[in-house]
Structures are given as C-alpha cells and as structure tokens.
A and B are shown apart, each in its own frame.
Chain A
C-alpha cells in the first residue's frame, strides 16, 4: 500500500480584497505630467459630460499586498493539481510548449477582422489540423466554431435541421433517437433544436439492443446521436448494424466522440457509416479545459452534409488559405468568428507532437490503465461494477457503484468525493444524468496518470471505505483538511444567498439586515 499523504490545504483566513488595505494605500504612484504636457492638454482632458462624479470604489492596497492576496486565493482553490481521475473528462496535461506557441504574436495579437493575407500562418494551422481530424475520422470537413462538446452536438442538430429543411422534410423528420447512456448533451441539444427525443434503454449486453433501435426508428427519425463506448466503458460491437438501420429509414447518424480516448486511431467514424462526428479538443487533444465556452468541440461531417455546417470554413485555394463564407445552405453561425483559435493551435501542437503512432499508443495505454484499475477496484468489498453480468473488458473507463457500501454504512458517492479532497485527491466524477447506476463513480486514468498515481488513488478510496465502516461521521462531515468545510448546496438556488459583485453583495447584505430588523 502506498503511503497516504498527511495533507492539509492552505487556509488563509483573510477578508476579501475590498476589505483589505487602508485609506491612501496605492498600487502605483504615477508621476505628475511635465509642464509642457500639462499645458497642452489642460487641467483635465476628460470632457465635462464624461467625468465621473464619485471616486471609484476600489481597494486601497499596495501592489505587493494585492499579489500576496491573490496568491493566497489560488492556494485555497482545489485546483486540478491532485491526482484527478475525473472520468468522462479525459484529464490530460496541458503542456507548456503548446502554451508558449499560443503566446507568439502571430497567434496572440491577430484578429479575425484582419485581411486573410495577413493571417496565412494561423489559417494554415487550422487547415492542417482539419486534415489531421479528417484522417482520424474519415470525415470531409471540420469546423471549430463550437465552444465545447455540447455546442458541437448542438451544431449537429442545427445541421440536421438545415439538411431536412432543404429537402422539405423538416415537418416529417421530428425525432432524434439516442441511448439513455449517451451524454446528456445529445438529448438536450436535440430538444433545444426542437426534436422529440427518444431514449433507448440499456439491455443485457450493457448497451441498447439493435431490436430496440429498430423499433424506435421510422420515417419520422431525423437523426441518431451516439457515444461508443459510452460512460460505462462498454463498446457496442454492433455499431455498423446500428448505422445501417438508421440509414435504412433515411436518418442521419452522429458519432459523439466524447469518449474517443479508448479508440483513437483504431476506428474511423466515416468507415462505420456515420455522417458526422465531433472531437473535444480540450480533452482528447490535450488543450486546456474551461467552463462553459472557451473550449472547442470540433465538428466534422461528410461532403454531403458540409454545405449545411456553420460558416466560415478554412479552405486552400492554390497556395493561399481563405475563409469560405459563401455557403448559402449553411445553418448559420454557432458562435462568433472561427471559434477559440488558441485551443486549436494547442490541439494541433499536441497532435503533431504525438504523431499517428503516438496517438494509437496513448489509446492503448488508457485502456490498459483502466483495466489495471478495474482489476484492483474489483477486490474492494462494498463496490460493484456497472452491468456486473457483462464480463467483457471495459475500454478507457468504467462506471462503478458504491450501492453496497451505501446500504451498509449510509456513506455514498457524494460523501466519499468530499472526503477524497482531504487526501489531496481531486473529487471524482460521479455520473452524467440520469443516474441509472446507484451511487455512481467513474474514474478514467487516460494515458497521463502513472501506475503510482493510480495506486495512490485506489489506496485513498480503500482507506475512506474503511473510515465509512469505522467512523462514518468523519466521512459524512468531510472535508476537514480544506480551507472551507462542506458547502450546503441549497444556497445555489437562492439568489439572496449569493453575489457575483461587491456591489451586489453589499445590496443583498443590507436587504437581509433590513428584513432581519423588520
């Protein structure tokens, strides 16, 4: 057993920055303008009507104090700097080399409103990365506008709508068929685009039956949206038959490659018959994650669907790269400009550094790592693998259930996630909705984490399960070694309990005080 760290997070018991400092505290003391300048611009160059009446409410604090305060805040965030086997998110190291690449002025200081003649370098990267993704998927064209995986799924529904409208069948093709275990962004985006969502249940093989799919398909089906493998880690070997069944009723087929890590370089979505797919550059391709937008869901499709994808796309004419905006059948923009270009550059750098063989090897490593983890986790009493009757090996991740431990001790997945933070381990990913596995957790090692890291992670879990049996209160009230204790989630649903700005905080505090006094 690994030696478990005797961890405690930093806890700086400091007020917020607005309450730091003292009257007159300054970050910078600017010199007074020279006499000639003062004479030229006058006493106050800001026109009367534009001058503010009050001084801005800013903390009066030295630069050094501000630096120290924000360093302390960064130390008190959980970060993602423990061992983080955060399943379905494919945690990868975001290398400094690709970070430096995006700091180059040719990336950092260009703007999409520039003339394309002055953007040839960045356009070349986007064009070539499109080519790399085409090689990995067999698709004919990629676009990088979508700001994340769900945005790329939404792009698919927008493309499908444009495709069926162009054929005069949008009134008839109203349904989208997916698995209950597909990422929820698939049913959610299809619903947002106006489709009726039909979920297929999992059956005995751990994925929906072909028979169920055929029962759901009809001339009303606009498209099917699938993950394979899904988050249970089970690969559906009948995928060709699935795509064929959808084709038989004329439906479009979308491969959500959120779980691409286990099959990178091993299969091609187009060869399996899919019309479109998406890759998440911020997970599979080593670019940084970001909440709610600054990521990239690269959307790719066949030549038949390409006229409907968002514009512009990067094209090569002769030896020049151009932005093809003239696409009359396009579904329109999914977001502004060309998407998050620095992410594309980082993903390009990752792919070039890995090479085709490296990408395949990374896929093998991630599957081996997960199977090593499965082997060890299976020996822990109190947890069980999802679809326990399905004996075949899982791919790059496995969903597990803590139901036996929960029934025995009352300690479930939420409590254990909180307690993991006490060992400097990042809380785990539980499950996407719906929770069809009770008390779920879903670790994914990927190709990054070492055997030592994986062993430490499992040993911490084993220790906490032991604590759950011997001292459940310790686990129930965790975390204890973090800067703050357990957060009661109910405040999230009550706007009077939170504030995004100092001004809102003061207003809500005063309101609460007034109500208390009344």
Chain B
C-alpha cells in the first residue's frame, strides 16, 4: 500500500487560544498573535514515530518541509518528497499537496475538519483517507482516536495480510466557524470519504464467517422500507445508512441532504427546512437517520435541515435509526447523541432507541443530550 502524508502545520492553532477553529489566514494570524504554538506537526511526528517503531524503513510519500517531510526527518522511515514548492498551510497548500500525492492508496493528513474538507475536495475517487487528530473541530468520521493510534493503524495497514477492507461512508463534516463563534453549532455534511476499516476494536474470528456490513445494512433498510405506512411522511436524513432505505424503496437518495417520501413516492430531494415543514403539515412524521462515525451523533451534526419542529412532531418514537453493528462498536462512547438546538426537545429525546443493525436485528442504544 502506498501511503502519502500531508500536514496542515497550523491546524488546531485556534483551539488553545479560544478561537474555536483555525479556518482562514486572518484567524491563523490572530491565533499566532495570541501566542498559540503550532502542534499539528508534532502530533504528526508522534504518529510517524509509532509507525517507524512498528515498521522500520517503511516507505512513505510526504509533502515537503513543514507540510510533511520535516516531521519524518531522523525517523527510521524512507520518505520520498513530493515535488511541490514549500508553503505554510493555507487551504490552497493542502489541496496542492494532496494533488501531488494523488497516486497514493491512502492519504494521511494531520489536521482537523477544515483540513479534512480540503483534502477530501481534491482527493481522487477510490483513494483512502485517515486523519491524525490535530484540529479544534473533529466531527468527521475519518480520524484515529490519537496520533499513536493513527501510527499503529498505518503499521497494521502496511503489514496487513489479505488486503485492507474499506468503508466508503465516512462523513466529512465541518462547522461554519463564524456561526460557531456566534454561539451556535451548525456542522454540515460536505461529503463521504473512503476510510480503512481499523479492526483493532472489532475483528471477526479467524476462519469464521465475516459479516457483510453492506448486506446487513441493505437488509435492515429493506425491512424498514417494507414497513413504511401509508399517509406518513418519511424524512430521510443524510448519509449512506439512511439513504439505503430510499434505495430499498426504489429511489435515489440525495445522500448529502434530507429527502422526503410519502406513500412510496419521493416528494423532495435535498430539501430545505421550510419545504420539509410545509410537507409535514397535518401529517404524521417519521425520521430515518444514520449515526455519525466515531462520535455517534443522531441529530444536530450534518442534518440541521431536520428542524427542531419536525423532530418534535416525530417524537422519539418516530425516529428510525440504522447503523451497522461495526459502526456502533467503533463509537468512542457506547451512546448516541442529539443536539437539536432546543434543550427541552433534547431532554425529551434522551432515553433509548432501537437501532436497526440488520434484518430482524436491533441494538438498543442510549440517547444523550450533547449540550
């Protein structure tokens, strides 16, 4: 497997000095003015140190200077430096570095959600992504839990026998930092990325049957589609899990937005809140949702088009949740979270929900209020 590394050296700079993020040159300047010290390169080095200890002499392609090569220097690795003028860490630099490393099977980046967005925007189809967690915001489902875990994962991937399994449904999420500084958390789903399945948390026993996650999801989705009631408005949230229900019902989901179905027909794709609310008037509403990777968000991360009013109309009993057992098993905490922006509604939603993990298979999960 050919691995490429790009470091966003200013990622995370805003965090320690209370800036909630580091998007844009002005924020970087402000963070530096407030005395922030760059951490992302040091964190990338921690990951590389672990990789070098586990797979001495490992070949890796790196962006030049502080965008990669500096942090691999002196370690027992064989870095090849991508031809690229050295720059400092703007979004443009990240994208240029990714393009220079585009022949790699797996692109490893050190950064946060903003970097993930920049990387995912230009990463060619079919290339994998793995994040060394360095950002202020990390809502995307592409990050290892620590720099060391990222290094260990790389070592596993380099030495994997029998190939690597991939998951094409990791969410790339980011928050508009200006809105966040104004006190509101409004992350958006920007796309879906391909990530390696890290099997350190869950692994099928050797020689035993491997669970086919896609088949389990499709089976659960088909069961939900079959059980759709007449006269009920079904809102289908973003992501491949919820979208599988639309597919099972014979429709193409928008995946990045919220769709609406009624009596087997697709009424709206990638609809705005106001349109969904209009459709919901005078009808029973049920909401089909996936779970965000690692973090376990049900509502309030990437699906804000489903407004608090619509959620209240559906109620907790109106939530239909799908996720593979593997995804639930890989959550940082064994819980699901809601953050609808309405604290009273969040409190109403806390309790338990049955997550559909396969045909006639459900997992009970506790819902907590994130705020």
Contact = CB atoms under 8 A, between A and B. Distances in A.
B325 A201 contact: no
A197 interface: yes
B352 A215 contact: yes
Given A196-B361, A197-B361, A435-B203, A407 B351 contact: no
B339 interface: no
Contacts of B156: 410
B77 to A, nearest CB: 16
Given A215-B352, A489-B207, A438 B200 contact: yes
A227 interface: no
A495 interface: no
Interface string B314-343: 000000000001000100001000000000
A198 interface: yes
A94 interface: no
B246 interface: no
Contacts of B201: 435, 438
B360 interface: yes
B92 interface: no
B206 interface: yes
Contacts, number: 83
A430 B200 contact: no
Interface in B341-367: 351-352, 354, 357, 360-366
A208 B334 CA distance: 12
A412 B202 CA distance: 12
A407 B329 contact: no
Interface string A280-306: 000000000000000000000000000
B206 A489 contact: yes
Nearest to A418: B206
A462 B366 CA distance: 39
Q: Give the size category of B's interface with A.
A: 20 to 34
B363 A199 contact: yes
B138 interface: no
A436 B122 CA distance: 35
Interface in A41-92: none
B366 A203 contact: yes
B148 interface: yes
B362 A407 contact: no
Interface in B243-267: none
**Among A199, A216, A412, A439, which residue has the most Cβ atoms of chain B within 10 A?**
A199
A199 B364 contact: yes
Nearest to A413: B203
Contact of B155 (A203, A410, A435, A490): A410
B159 interface: yes
21 contacts: A191-B360, A191-B361, A196-B361, A197-B360, A198-B364, A203-B366, A212-B352, A212-B364, A212-B366, A407-B149, A407-B200, A409-B54, A410-B159, A412-B200, A434-B202, A435-B203, A438-B203, A439-B200, A488-B162, A489-B207, A490-B162
Interface of B: 54, 148-149, 152, 155-156, 159, 161-162, 200-208, 325, 329, 334, 351-352, 354, 357, 360-366
